Amino acid sequence: MGDCACNSGVKLIYSCSGNADVGEISDRVARALRREGFGQGSCIAAVGAGMQGFIQSAKGADVNIAIDGCPVACARKILESIGVTPESYIVTEMGFKKGHTHVTPEVIETVFNTVKQGKSDKAETKYAPVTGGGCG
């Protein structure tokens, strides 16, 4: 935690952290971004579980970044389910195939740099809104 909102530009980072290789990549990239100070790491599971502290923090952040492994986009959908539109990144849309990607430092660095450079379109311009959320 815990930037004070007196500091503008509060950025929270979420990863889907799914069990597949691309989910692992999303998790490791999110952690690397946090360590570098790109943003604060938050917890998508806590948002999905309805924990109000995490939900209200997402609503109060200036930017929420969702890093999903695959197009199922659980992290993005969970945030959308609480009315938050995140900046969305999907590992499989960066040229990596689910189930066929070795989690190497090079792959992590590629995704890390993509997120850091902000190349992804905002979710609202790239995807239709989704309701319901969940890790389905």
Partner 1 sequence: MYKIEVLGTGCAKCNKLEENARKAAEGLGIEYEVLKVKDINDIMNYGVMITPALVVNGVVKVAGKVPGVDELKKMIKE
Residues lying near partner 1 in the complex (CB under 8 A) are found at 1-6, 10, 12, 40, 42-43, 46, 51-57, 59-61
**Cβ of residue 43: shortest distance to partner 1, in angstroms?**
8
Nearest to partner 1 of 4, 128 (CB atom): 4
Nearest to partner 1 of 41, 110 (CB atom): 41
Give the three-class secondary structure for 66. strand
Nearest to partner 1 of 22, 133 (CB atom): 133
**Cβ of residue 88: shortest distance to partner 1, in angstroms?**
19
**Based on the number of CB atoms within 10 Å of its own CB, is 43 exposed (0-12), middle (13-18) or buried (19 or more)?**
middle
**Cβ of residue 93: shortest distance to partner 1, in angstroms?**
27
Contact present, 108 and 25 (Cβ < 8 Å): yes
Nearest to partner 1 of 82, 94 (CB atom): 82
Contact present, 131 and 53 (Cβ < 8 Å): no
**Cβ of residue 33: shortest distance to partner 1, in angstroms?**
15
| Neighbour tally for 66: CB within 10 Å | 29
Contact present, 17 and 70 (Cβ < 8 Å): no
